Amino acid sequence: MLFAHIADTHLGYRQYNLDEREEDFYRSFREAVDRIIDEGCRFVVHSGDLFDEPRPHVKALVVVREELERLREEGIKFYCIAGNHDLLMRSGAVPPHRLYPEMEFLTPKKPARVHGDVLIAGLPYFSKLHSRVLLERLAELEKLAERHRRSVLLLHQGIDRYLGVGYELRMNELPAGFSYYALGHVHKPLLDSYAGGIVAYPGSTEVWRGDEIEVYEKMGKGFYLADTEAKEPEEVEWVKLRSVRRFVKLRVSSEEELEALPEPGDGKPVVRLELQCRTESFQRLYSEVMRRLADRVLYVDVRRLSQEEERRASPAKGLDVYELLGSYLRERSEAERSFAAELLRLLEDGRTEDAVKVAEEFFSRRWGGGR
């Protein structure tokens, strides 16, 4: 039975506060639905962050309604869990997925469905601070999977093998017994094996952050197609979306290099531009680059890279702030390192309200409610 695995669509995201970038995320999602229908999939699993925020724009809500209706008309079920961007981190909060009765929305209270003879189980995002509860729920689902020959598990978690210090779950903490582990949260496509099953992150369907560009240039953005009878990662098919806007990463240190600036092609790209020059040369080089790019690109995300920054930077790997944080806090407890990583991720996403809630909960547990 063929199914599609998609994640991290982040619908409603207005990157650079541009209408065009918001529309890009909708267009990628619509194309994914087109391809899912064309491939004859029997069901879809979405592994979290359907929306970019827990109070989505009205247009994002409408787009999901339209695409769910298209899938329903083709008899294709849509199974989904909430990611960290879909959730308000407070008691009693209702995720936007509740608006869609046609969506098979998996929750801690109702974490499983059966599609034909395939168990489909899933849990929403759990922060590292709630790892004990997550592990208890996963143990329950492992017992449930023992009663089914084929099964799919949906999770929106970072795993230590793939995410480093910012992880919420260790690889060996995944429950055994599932045929396919449909994961979300990591924005690059990954395929692996675990306990006789296939582990998969399809990544995001659009370039959500600049640090995704390198992998995007190699693989593009898309989703996975798999058969419920598949047993090896090599049997999973990568579907590359054609409508994703191009991102181009450039480093320019002189006017002579400006001849390499990108042509617009079929659509105006977004350019991540690093100007490697002395302070006194920056304005002249910046003005010339912008003059040349003005009608050729949608947006230029520019920064000055000093000679000293270039000397310090690794040629093979960029600075990983989570790795740096983990190194700095290596003498602290695991709970403190996890709290710091969670707080950093929320603040990076601009989710100040959720960051305050996480901090209050952490210090309440640690010091009995004192501030």
- The domain locations on the chain are 2-240, 247-312, 321-367
User: Does the global pTM surpass 0.85?
Assistant: no
Please say if 85 is a catalytic residue: yes
User: If we measure between CA atoms, which residue out of 259, 304, 301, 230 comes closest to residue 21?
Assistant: 301
Reading the block at residue 335, the tokens are: 């709970």
User: Which CATH code fits 2-240?
Assistant: 3.60.21.10
Q: Which residue has the higher pLDDT, 209 or 277?
A: 209
Query: Given the DSSP bridges, would you call strands 112-115 and 150-156 parallel, antiparallel or unpaired?
Result: unpaired
**Residue corresponding to tokens 């496509």:** 189
**CA trace torsion 219, 225, 228, 231 (10° rounding):** -30
Out of 5, 10, 46, 85, pick the active-site residue.
85
**Residue corresponding to tokens 């600075």:** 319
Cβ atoms of 51 and 62 within 8 Å: the answer is: no
> Is the pLDDT score of 285 beyond 90?
no
d(CA 234, CA 162): 19
Q: What is the pLDDT of residues 96-109, one digit of tens each?
A: 999 999 999 999 99
Q: Please give the pLDDT value at position 313.
A: 46
Other beta carbons within 10 Å of 160: 15
Q: DSSP 3-state assignment of 226? A: strand
Cβ atoms of 223 and 29 within 8 Å: the answer is: no
Q: What is the pLDDT of residues 89-141, one digit of tens each?
A: 777 778 999 999 999 999 999 999 999 999 999 999 998 888 899 999 999 99
